[in-house]
Structure 1
Amino acid sequence: MARYTGIFKILTPVSVFQPLMKETLESCRFNVIYQTGDYLMAREIPGNVAFHQLVTVEVLVDKTVITDREIHMNIVVKNEELPLHLDNHCQQVFSRITQAISDANHWQIIETVAG
């Protein structure tokens, strides 16, 4: 199973974070399938890759460090594909999502850690 993680610290009003994050994921060809106050799960829209390569994204907000404007979030991007090559589909999607988060003008990135 391929799995990539990223940690982001961003400045944005907490009240608008989830709709903006949902919009960001949808711009990367994902459908949000589940969400709560501190969690979003989205699946890649089928059609471009084999079923086992379809990617799932989880966005987890760390409520222990949340303030009115600062959000710490972890993203986990994964699929059932064995990561036999460094440049696999899951890694490409992870790069596309992290770039979309970094480029979004909805918020200001304070810190990023990708792993």
Structure 2
Amino acid sequence: MARYTCSYLVKVQLEQLPLLLDEILHSCGFEIIYQAIGYIMAREIPGKIDFSKLVSVDVFIDATQIQNNQVPLTWVVKSDELPLHHYNHCWQRFNQIQQEIGEHSQWHLVPS
């Protein structure tokens, strides 16, 4: 199973966060399939890639650590694909999500 994680501290109002995360995920070709307080699960939209390579994303929002509108986020990008090559489909999607996070204009990444 391929699995890649990253953590970010973003400056954004908590009320805006679900909409912004949906925008990022949708722009990368993912759809939200489950949403709760502090957690979002999304999956890659089927049809363009083999079923075994489909990627899912878990976003953990640590609301207990919010200070000055700085929200800690942990992203877990995973698939059932065996990561036999470093540049596999899951890794490509992980990089795409990271790039989108860094370029999103509605929030600011906070250096940690």
What TM-score, normalized to structure 1? 0.93
Summarize deviations over 1:54-88 as a string: whole Å, max 9, x none. 00000001122113511001000000000000000
Match of 1:98 in 2: 98
Match of 2:49 in 1: 49
Identity of aligned residues (%): 42
Counterpart-to-counterpart distance in 2, 1:48 and 1:34 = 22
Equivalence map 1:20-99=2 (5 Å)? 20-67=20-67, 69-99=69-99
- Cα pair 1:14 1:68 within 8 Å, conserved: no
Paired letter, 1:35:
Q
Counterpart-to-counterpart distance in 2, 1:38 and 1:9 = 14
Residue ranges of structure 1 left out of the alignment (5+ in a row)? none
Counterpart-to-counterpart distance in 2, 1:106 and 1:37 = 21
CA RMSD of aligned residues (A): 1.1
Paired letter, 2:65:
V
Question: Which one is further off, 62-71 or 97-106?
Answer: 62-71
Counterpart-to-counterpart distance in 2, 1:47 and 1:82 = 20
Residue ranges of structure 2 left out of the alignment (5+ in a row)? none
Aligned length: 112
Moved over 3 A (4+): none
- Cα pair 1:52 1:81 within 8 Å, conserved: yes
- Cα pair 1:12 1:107 within 8 Å, conserved: yes
